[in-house]
Amino acid sequence: MITGTSQADCAILIIAAGTGEFEAGISKDGQTREHALLAYTLGVKQLIVAINKMDTTKWSEDRFQEIIKETSSFIKKVGYNPKHVPFVPISGFNGDNMIDVSPNCPWYKGWEKETKTKVTGKTLLEAIDAIDNPVRPSDKPLRLPLQDVYKIGGIGTVPVGRVETGVIKPGMVVTFAPAGVTTEVKSVEMHHEQLVEGVPGDNVGFNVKNVSVKEIRRGNVAGDSKNDPPKGAESFNAQVIVLNHPGQVGAGYAPVLDCHTAHIACKFAELLEKIDRRTGKSTESSPKFIKSG
């Protein structure tokens, strides 16, 4: 879930319209709330909300508007602007408003979102087609977090992952961090086709020389050895939001950190300050503990 989300340009939040189902999803411990926050925190800044199972509510306009109101309120707290988010009533089971406009909701006039220009549409497919193309930073140093590493007979070791920044080309010498392995890229492929180069947004596989599958793994990051290669970090300062924790969190707390495709245990050495989420200003220096919220 986290690995996949970290590679996305846009998130589609599927919300069940059924009585009780929607309420459970957006409750304090609900999956809907958690998934929206995970997407935003992992850098997915575009969102589409598909309100599913509308057939179980007999295509009730009141229920649709109630869900929009509640959902807008909580995605705003997460960080999304509801005006930039299309809300589409659908029935995945029957295919309503997925590709073609449904005759079952004559009251539905369509979705709209305001970005640089105002965009409107009716179906989920149109909302997907209206996703803004993100800026692809190909001029920055190469960063390619590995999603998996395969051993392919007759070819050798093939790491795969999405190019986040920079460009990867055959003949380039790459370094994998924090493993500290350096090697040459023999070829770059996407969808079984050879590429001259892989650019940001591409999910690529690349064949490397003289590296076994045991030396590199998911969560490692590939970079250009000659241009600011990635390095492992002993420690770092992090801005943390405590979403939901039964007790208090203090120095010595040891969670698992999810960063791009890596999952690694770490420890809080010290708490530096508490910050107001909305203003970004410090409210307390060196707090002993922090709690949910």
Range of the domain at 193: 144-224
Tell whether 244 is covered by a domain: no
Range of weakest confidence among 117-121, 131-135, 153-157, 179-183: 131-135
pTM greater than the 0.75 cutoff: no
Q: Is residue 279 part of a domain?
A: yes
Instruction: Out of 129, 162, 183, pick the residue that ends a domain.
Output: 129
Bond before 89 cis per omega within 30 degrees: no
Residues 22 and 93 in one domain: yes
Same domain (yes/no): 123, 149: no
**Residues 6 and 125 reside in one and the same domain:** yes
Q: How far apart are CA 165 and CA 43, in angstroms?
A: 14
Q: How far apart are CA 225 and CA 199, in angstroms?
A: 17
For the chain, helix, strand, coil in percent to 5 are 15, 30, 50
pLDDT in tens, 88-113: 999 999 999 999 999 999 999 999 99
**Do 109 and 206 fall into the same domain?**
no
Residue 281 lies in a domain: yes
The answer to whether residue 151 sits within a structural domain is: yes
Distance of CA 189 to the CA centre of its chain: 23
Residue 176 CA to residue 257 CA, distance in Å, equals 19
Q: Which of 249, 261, 231 is nearest to 290 (CA)?
A: 249
pLDDT band at 43 (very low <50, low <70, confident <90, very high): confident
Is residue 1 over pLDDT 80?
Answer: no
For CA atoms 165, 169, 171, 177, the dihedral sign is positive
The better pLDDT of the pair 19, 242 is held by: 19
Q: Classify residue 235: in a domain, yes or no.
A: no
CATH number at 278 reads 2.40.30.10
pLDDT band of residue 278 (cuts 50, 70, 90) is low
For residues 154 and 111, membership in a common domain is answered with no
Say if residue 88 is in the same domain as residue 177.
no
- Domain assignment present for residue 135? The answer is no
Least trusted range by pLDDT, from 19-28, 125-134, 182-191: 19-28
Using pLDDT thresholds of 50, 70 and 90, give the confidence band for residue 26: confident
The residues facing 282 across adjacent strands are: 275
Whether 7 and 108 map to the same domain: the answer is yes
Number of domains composing the chain: 3
212 and 256 assigned to the same domain:
no
CATH number of the domain that 78 lies in? 3.40.50.300
Q: Is residue 284 part of a domain?
A: yes
Q: Within a domain: residue 234?
A: no
Last residue of a domain, one of 180, 207, 224: 224
Same domain as 156, residue 121: no
User: Are residues 11 and 125 located together in one domain of the fold?
Assistant: yes
Residues 117 and 51 in one domain: yes
Whether residues 105 and 161 fall in one domain: no
For 152-192, the pLDDT digits (tens) are 988 899 999 999 999 999 999 999 999 889 999 999 999 98
